[in-house]
Chains A and B, each alone.
Chain A
Amino acid sequence: MGEEVGGAAGGGAAGEGGNDLDFEGWTCPAPLRNTPTVVMGHGGGGAMSAELVESLFLPAYGGAARAELGDAAVLPPVAGRLAFSTDSYVVKPMFFPGGSIGDLAVNGTVNDLAMAGAQPLYLSTAYILAEGTAISDIGRVATAVGKAAEQAGVQLVTGDTKVVDHGSGDGIYVNTAGVGVIPDGVVIGPERARPGDVVLVSGAIGLHGVAVMSCREGLEFSTPVESDSAPLHGLVADMLATGVDVHVLRDPTRGGLSASLNEIARGSGVGVDLVERDLPIPEEVRDACGLLGLDPLQVANEGKLVAMVPADGADAVLEAMRAHPFGAGACRIGTVVEDHPRMVVARTGLGGTRVIDLPIGEQLPRIC
């Protein structure tokens, strides 16, 4: 379908294969009637909707899209248990250092599947666009979706677009749902942490949250920190290939490491002991959090995982993680204990202890 558009493009940047599109300074190909912004008609299901799909989404997705991109994707049978996940993405701003809402929407759902031990296969993409959103922004987001899907090796098989009144939404919201297949014998879940397990994290924490906050209205600061957005199923596959019985996997996104560890502690009815000085918090993250009064443990990550593995297999898993590009900074940060069930406790640098609590809501910069 992308090819049909190529012939009709009038001065657009649409190239062969779609994924090389440059949406910086992008102008709309002819069939989009040269509206520079989204109008209600783009979500009406008529000709304008079709044009948006054929002239924007399909070329932007490139090789990652199934040609039909219809209402229902008909897929071949798979061997094994299915993992199925959905997530909506409303990040503000849509573009931030190291990524955009587009790659988050792919990697986030891919990672949710990966944390169940699944190999992700197919994704749906659904957009809710606010009237007045620049078509070029949608182009940039869709291109990012296509690139991320290609990198993750998942196919974009079905989708939807709706437009809401100006003021009802905010730019671009994306929902992705994904399906993956879990290899036989793999059982991973938040209820499987056992006392004695070692807690591993795949690398530096706090990067995504700090990158997003650095360009949030009212907070702007400059930082070398970029979002860590990345698909983690390859890393998970390498960890599982060690043969070690990985008990729990979790991607510490919203709420950061605090939220993930608390959820696991509650899910498994165990305590978690952390050693504060072993936490891989980059100096830039620590400093940005210091400036804003935030706790790095509560800041979001989009390309990290935390794992609970039996002590006798921890070294093997750690080695496998470090050999993978997305796990190069992997390290041990604590242990699962019988004491203080359902609570996460850190030993402070000075030798005291503190409870690491489940964050309440949104992290807000504070003066105190």
Chain B
Amino acid sequence: MCLAVPGRVVEVFDESGTTMAQVDFGGVRKKVCLAYLPETGVDEYVIVHVGFAIQRLDEESAKETLATFERLGILEEEFGDGFEAAAREKGVQL
């Protein structure tokens, strides 16, 4: 339901009493309503849905999550790749 994408706030401004922002989506820029996250500063990431920033993107948390995924691999390397072998046995193409 909810096509929402993360973007970086590049400018915060007021438009007839509403907090708005220019948000950069990797080069594509769009005006976004920031009224629900008025404390957001420039260079912070927000998640945007139909022209509204609905939530801040917690960069620390994103990095932690990715680090967790990375560690899954390291554990495997230490303990051998038995999981993958099991998957292959089942005929699953990875």
Contacts and interface: CB of A to CB of B under 8 A. Distances in A.
Contact of A291 (B1, B28, B94): B28
A286 B3 CA distance: 14
A287 B1 CA distance: 19
Nearest to A293: B3
B2 A222 contact: no
Q: Looking at chain A, what size class is its interface with the partner chain?
A: 10 to 19
Given A351-B93, A367-B50, A224 B3 contact: no
B3 A287 contact: no
A294 to B, nearest CB: 10
Given A291-B30, A351-B93, A368 B3 contact: yes
Interface string B28-63: 111000000000000000001110000000000000
A221 B30 contact: yes
A284 B26 CA distance: 6
Given A351-B93, A351-B94, A367-B49, A222 B28 contact: yes
A290 B2 contact: no
Contacts of B28: 214, 221-223, 225, 284, 287-288, 291
A288 B24 CA distance: 10
A29 to B, nearest CB: 40
Question: Which of B27, B29, B48 has most chain A Cβ within 10 Å?
Answer: B27
A221 B26 contact: no
A184 interface: no
Contact of A290 (B1, B25, B49): B25
Nearest to B29: A222
Interface in A211-247: 214, 221-225
Interface in A334-368: 351, 366-368
Contacts of A71: none
A288 B50 CA distance: 13
A158 B30 CA distance: 43
B5 interface: yes
A75 to B, nearest CB: 46
Interface in A170-226: 214, 221-225
B2 A367 contact: yes
A368 B93 contact: no
A296 to B, nearest CB: 13
B24 to A, nearest CB: 9
4 nearest A-B pairs in the assembled complex, by CB-CB distance: A287-B26, A221-B30, A284-B27, A222-B29
10 contacts: A222-B28, A283-B27, A284-B26, A286-B26, A287-B26, A287-B28, A291-B28, A366-B3, A367-B1, A367-B3
Interface of B: 1-3, 5, 25-30, 48-50, 93-94
